[in-house]
Structure 1
Amino acid sequence: MPGTTALDPLFHAADAPRFTDRHLATLAAGTLAAVRVPGFLDPAVCAAALAAVDRLPTADYDPARVPTPIVRFGPALNDYRTANGGLDGRYWHDAEAARAAWQRAGLRQDPIALSLARLGSAWGAAVTPATIAGRAVFGGTLREINAGALVHYDDINREFPTGAFDQEVIAQLAFNVWVAVPEGGGATTVWRHRWEPADEQARDAYGYRPEAVERFQSVSLTPQLGDGLLFNPANYHAVAPNRGGRRIAFAFFLGLTTTGQLVAWS
């Protein structure tokens, strides 16, 4: 079972046989920490996706910005944010290049498409790409995180305070599905704490030092092959280093809009 510090009884991590609309709603509302569906993808789909990883043009982050090595495929909006809160025009070129590379990789069972379809079925309406001036953004990155990730949060409305999309997003969720897991370690921890100005005293590169969250309740989940995980990334979260093996996940964000739609992006 997921490890929990029992303070707020609503802030816990639930294992479930499938995602439901109730899970999505409570995560959006902030009254649940995380939902994990063991075996969300079966081993054959995971194996095919892992085989495709070597056919994708992956790269490391700039170590000056991301001090722990993280291998990535696919553009993330936040990496293209300009100083005035806009979007660097290079994003669209890189998004098209990533779509082309994904097609060339030739996955017969696309883990991103499968995940989006199942989450749409749970919500009761298809998940659609978020758009900017009518153009669909890229959704579905790959991240190989073996040395861990700093404590940080993701919040599209803080990252782009004048608005990122044509759609108005009122709550953001993060989805991960693992196609390779390490022999040990690699847990995702989510804290019952969201950014406040005083946290900037603990700023460290793209994230924060542990002191920013040390007083707060948390849940930790160690991934197993094929697990699907949803949580609200406005809560601080981090990844522990591996103990042998590779930790590879496909990931995207979901946004609940003012019209009740779910949109996706990376």
Structure 2
Amino acid sequence: MPRVLRDPLFTAADSLVLTDRHIANLAAGTLAAVRVPAFLSGPTCESAMAELDRLPTTDYDPARVPTPILRFGPALNDYRTPDGALDADRYWPAAEAARAAWSRAGIRPDPIAVSLARLGSAWGAAVVPATIGGRPVFGGTLREINNGALIHYDDLNREMPALFDQQLVAQLAFNVWVRIPGNGGETTVWRRRWEPADEDHRDAYGFQPATVTRCQHVTLAPQAGDALLFNSANFHAVRPNQGHGQRRIAFSFFLGLTTTGQLTAWS
């Protein structure tokens, strides 16, 4: 059997303090993931959980995401046309409705605002919303993934090219958990990015396990309140929860590093 060569830089870092070096290394591909324990306090997580019923939630488009994933807030991919453009007639009303619902819910402390502020502090400049024609897109979804997520990647430059006013050089995924299952729900990130031949292993929005066979990977099982940041162009997946009634709930968004060194956010 051929030996699996390992990249010594593809590791997961645990750090109580998120830094600009972490973000830069993730963008450069010289770090697999950063986990920040207790990014949100226990009371903040419990406060968010107590208010979640105020948020209108829905499943992702089942034609694109066959595994049920409950979410609040529009995701750009659910409004993508076959040619990779944005269905603006559907997206912008959904974005405005989500902003209004979030404001009405009045979750305090605001997990999204707290997260963006800490990321901006780490980078040394505020994180700003990505824009389309000068109009800010929605950022900061709530996702409940109990049945796992397929092996997939997220890369807006490939999926919806030139959509934003800003030009992106890297895309990172940010998640902070307010509820975790007792078993299962781990996130795995592979040192592997999409190649054209991978389309032979396509499975709905994702890819079959053969795509990442024998690829180096890291697997992380955060606790409630922990944050996780990784480069979403790498293949990644979520293991299903184990046990009846277990819930895995996170606030999440994407971060884009632009050609001008700015951090932008969207969902």
- Structure 2 partner of 1:187: 186
Q: Is the 8 A contact 2:60 2:78 kept in 1?
A: no
Q: Equivalent residue for 2:145? A: 145
Partner of 1:252: 253
* Alignment-derived partner of residue 59 in structure 1: 58
Instruction: Report the CA distance between 1:170 and its aligned residue.
Output: 0.6
Q: In the TM superposition, what whole-angstrom CA distance separates every residue of 1:12-59 from its partner, at most 9, and x where no partner exists?
A: 101001110000000000110000001000011111111221111001
1:221-260 matched pairs, under 5 angstroms: 221-244=220-243, 245-260=246-261
The residue identity in structure 1 corresponding to 2:187 is T
Is structure 2 residue 132 aligned with structure 1 residue 109? no
Q: Which amino acid aligns with 2:164?
A: F
| 2:130 aligned partner | 130
Cα distance in 1 for partners of 2:76, 2:51 equals: 23
* Residues 158-211 of structure 1: per-residue CA shift (max 9 Å, x gap): 0112x0111111111100000000011100000000000111111000000111
TM value normalised by structure 2: 0.96
What is residue 158 of structure 2 aligned with on the other side? 158
**Identical positions, percent:** 73
Partner of 1:201: 200
Question: What is residue 91 of structure 1 aligned with on the other side?
Answer: 91
Query: Aligned partners of 2:203 and 2:187: how far apart in 1?
Result: 19
For residue 139 of structure 1, report the CA deviation from its aligned partner: 0.2
TM-score, length-normalised on structure 1? 0.96
Separation of aligned partners in 1, 2:135 and 2:232: 25
Runs of 4+ in 1 over 3 A off after TM superposition: none
Q: Is the 8 A contact 2:171 2:254 kept in 1?
A: yes
Distance 2:213 2:115 in 1: 33
> 3-state SS of the aligned residue for 1:158?
helix
**How does 1:213-224 map onto structure 2 within 5 Å?**
213-224=212-223
Q: Which consecutive residues of structure 1, in runs of 5 or more, have no partner in the other structure?
A: none
| Equivalent residue letter for 2:158 | R
TM-superposed deviation, 1:6: 7.9
The reply on whether 1:33 has 2:32 as its aligned counterpart is yes
Q: Flag the 1:6–1:243 CA change in 2: closer, same or farther, 3 A.
A: farther
Structure 2 unpaired stretches of 5+: none
- The count of corresponding residues between Structure 1 and Structure 2 is 261
SS for the counterpart of 1:54 is helix
Contact 2:177 2:226 in 1 (8 A): yes
